[in-house]
Structures are given as structure tokens and as C-alpha cells.
Amino acid sequence: MASFNKQDVADRSPFGMREYLRSTNGVKFEHYTLSAASVRSQTVDGVAGMKIAHRGLILAKITSGGESGKVGPFVAGATDVADGRQLPAGIVGINDTFLPWQLMDRDVEIAVAYDAAVIQAWLLEYNGNLAATTEVVASNGTATAMQPGGTAGKGVAILFK
């Protein structure tokens, strides 16, 4: 006979796919290689060293160093980043591929939305210097750069609702 025994386990942190799109109508994607080295390690439920790329993470082109040609998380306000990810002009779009563990082993091919209607409060960017960076809600300055006619990379046209 079927039965269920509840084990005494600690509560888990919320985990899973995030939504960032206001509408799925007319969304345009481009494909890039996400640099595993550019994604910060974090602790999830007591397990250190996890590398997770959430949907809704703003990405920028890496223009120098060994990871040149790939993309990584946009780092707003960083003074110790010199690979291009700190420049609004390098923004290529928003990550649409949820990677809960793959970046621990390798770089991964991802889909990046470059033309979409989104909700700003659901977007993420890295903030601060790399030694102490955190994921935060996208700033107004970053949102302005990503709008049509903004300073983000060529072809990025994100509408905020």
C-alpha cells in the first residue's frame, strides 16, 4: 500500500525558473556562448560554489581577455571589471535560458532576448565590484540604456511595461 513519510528537513530556498517577459508576442532572440568564468559562485541551501544563470539576467559582451567573444552578466557600477561587461554599450540583451548547474562544468550556449516587452522589476544585473557582487533588480540607468535609441548594444530594443 502506498504511504508517505515526511522527513524532518530544513526549508529550501526558492529555486527554479524566473519570468521576466511582459508578453511573449514578437520576442526576438539571438544565441551566444555564456562564459562560465564570468558567472559568480553562490551558496544555495548551504552548498557553496554553485553557478546559476537565471532567466532575466542582463548580459553584456566580453571584449577582452581569455573569454573575449562570449557574453557574461552585466556588472553595473563596477570599477574592477575591465572586460567590457561593465559598459552599457556592451549589453546584448536578457538571458532566456535557465542554467541551474551546467556552468559548474563548462561554457553554455544560450538564447538572449534582444527585442521584447519586459517588466523591469523582474530583471537582474550584477552590482558592485566582482569580489562582493550581488544580483540586484535592474537599475533605471540600465533600463534606459536598453530601450530603443539607448546606449546598449546595436539592435537591443527592450520595452519596459
The model's pLDDT over 16-73, given as tens digits with 9 standing for 90+, comes to 788 999 999 999 999 999 999 999 888 887 888 889 999 999 999 999 889 999 999 9
How, if at all, do strands 75-76 and 124-127 pair?
Answer: parallel
Q: Which residue's entry shows cell 523582474?
A: 122
Query: Could you tell me if residue 140 is left (phi over 0), alpha (psi between -120 and 50 degrees) or otherwise beta?
Result: alpha
Quick one: cell of 112?
Answer: 538572449
Q: Which of 1-10, 73-82, 97-106 comes out lowest in average pLDDT?
A: 1-10
Global pTM exceeds 0.75:
yes
Residue 45 confidence (pLDDT) = 79
Of 42-46, 104-108, 128-132, the range with the highest mean pLDDT is 104-108
Residue 28 confidence (pLDDT) = 96
pLDDT band at 104 (very low <50, low <70, confident <90, very high): very high
Percent of the chain with pLDDT over 90: 57
Residue 10 confidence (pLDDT) = 66
